[in-house]
Amino acid sequence: MAGLGVGAAIIVLSLIGSVIPGVGCCNCLLPIAAGILAVYLYTKNSHATVDPKDGAMLGAIAGAACGLLNLIIGAPLSYFVNSAVMQAQFAQLRDQGINLPASLTGFALVIVFGIIGAVVFTILSTIGGLIGSAIFGKGTGVGGNPNVPPPPPNYGGGSTQPPAGTPGGYGSGGGGTYGSGS
Amino acid sequence: MPASPDSYVSPFAPREFSARGAWTAWALVAGVALLWLGLIVGAPLAASAGHEATAFVIYQGLKTVCHQMPERAFWVAGHPLAVCARCSGIYAGFAAAVLAYPLSRRLQRTETPRRAWLALALAPTAFDFTLGITGLWANTHSSRFLTGAWLGAWVAFYVVPGAVEIARQRGARPKGLLAFDQK
């Protein structure tokens, strides 16, 4: 859900960028920002540790959502705004002897390039997710393995003993429930 | 004699990661970065060589992530690059930093710089963009490219460790339940 929300926000920003001259210069950073934002929202809501694999996955989902929304909203808008230009480019290609299928109309082309755009969005958002996992993931770096549990408190016969009546650790010999046969 | 707590090895701990896996992850990232850069430079080259359809596909494919204003792009062989000067800088800086990455640190290290460094990396680009859009300073192709390259280069130091870490996780298997190293 966070990915879809981020995707919608990025598409709106992207459309604003295409309307306001100069702002569109940051369009390449928007999918990357989407990936970072998706990881940030995920960690903020769930307080879970996000490793690079999860970050990349979150980024890819946000990017795919971006691409899908772009295909639904951005591509038709682009067709209505740029259809004349695209038809001219199409005619120019045909004039140069390039054998394009007759069924390939301007709208079909917009759809095809919308799908290519979705792939581009997904790649960049995956990079954003990787960055997001590095800066918002738990710990100082992605190399820490937070899933590794600490050793039992009394491992190796240490002096720390669990309170009476609680399950003991490995080798404690008393009070344990696991394998105690009770 | 009881084992020392330091000798405990969790059953969930990954096996020691091989250098080969790290190099594979790095090669994958470097390959994608170079391919991406190749598309950007390849579009004008294809157009000038008469491969208009190929150039058209690349230009339209990258249109979703860049405004592609010809006056804000570098030109090669009489045609603009597939993205603007700032985007070119970001991707070129990223590719260069990925290629130079093994020279600057061991690939198996997966710690990333603090997030403050990413903000510092973004600052020149944001500064250049803000001054340009407010009209306080007329930024140039060079300023856009160089500030973008600075940002892209720093991004590599977050992406490569992440890719290596993913490769580490994919290659690691739990050692089993009896993982206590009691020699």
* pLDDT(A132) > 80: yes
Q: Are B55 and B113 in contact (CB under 8 A)?
A: no
Q: Are A153 and B100 in contact (CB under 8 A)?
A: no
**Beta-bridge partners for B76:** B79
pLDDT at residue A150 in the model: 59
Nearest alpha carbon to residue A136 among A58, A65, A73, A79: A58
**Cα–Cα dist A14/A18, whole Å:** 6
Q: What is the pLDDT of residues A14-27, one digit of tens each?
A: 555 555 555 556 67
Domain boundaries, chain A: 2-136
**Cα–Cα dist B141/A77, whole Å:** 30
pLDDT at residue A175 in the model: 43
Number of neighbours of residue B120 by Cβ within 10 angstroms: 14
Chain B residue with minimum CA distance to A67: B64
| Domain enclosing residue B61, as ranges | 16-169
Backbone angles phi, psi at B76, to 5 degrees: -130, 130
Number of neighbours of residue A3 by Cβ within 10 angstroms: 25
Comparing B30 with B129, the larger pLDDT belongs to B30
In a domain, B124, yes or no: yes
pTM of this structure:
0.73
pLDDT at residue A48 in the model: 83
* B65 close contact with A: CB closer than 8 A: yes
> Per the structure block, which two tokens stand in for A157?
């016969």
Domain count, chain B: 1
pLDDT at residue B29 in the model: 95
Q: Does B4 sit within 8 Å of A120, measured CB to CB? A: no
Which CA distances in Å does A15 have to A8, A10, B16, B113? 11, 9, 47, 33
* pLDDT(A97) > 80: no
Chain A residue with minimum CA distance to B87: A28
Q: Which residue has the tokens 């994919």?
A: B170
What's the DSSP call for residue A17?
H
**Cα–Cα dist A180/A166, whole Å:** 13
Q: Are B182 and B28 in contact (CB under 8 A)?
A: no
| Secondary structure (3-state) at B80 | strand
Q: Which residue has the tokens 């009489």?
A: B78
Q: What is the pLDDT of residues B17-43, one digit of tens each?
A: 678 889 999 999 999 999 999 999 999
* B134 close contact with A: CB closer than 8 A: no
CA distance B179 to chain A (A): 11
Q: What is the pLDDT of residues B70-83, one digit of tens each?
A: 888 999 999 999 99
* B84 close contact with A: CB closer than 8 A: yes
- Model ipTM over 0.85: no
**Test the A interface: residue of B64, B122, B151 with most A CBs within 10 Å:** B64
Cα A169 off chain centre by: 40
**Cα–Cα dist A139/B161, whole Å:** 14
Predicted confidence band of residue A105 (pLDDT cuts 50, 70, 90): low
> Per the structure block, which two tokens stand in for B67?
């405004």
Of B52, B155, B158, Cβ closest to residue A93: B52
**Cα–Cα dist B3/B34, whole Å:** 51
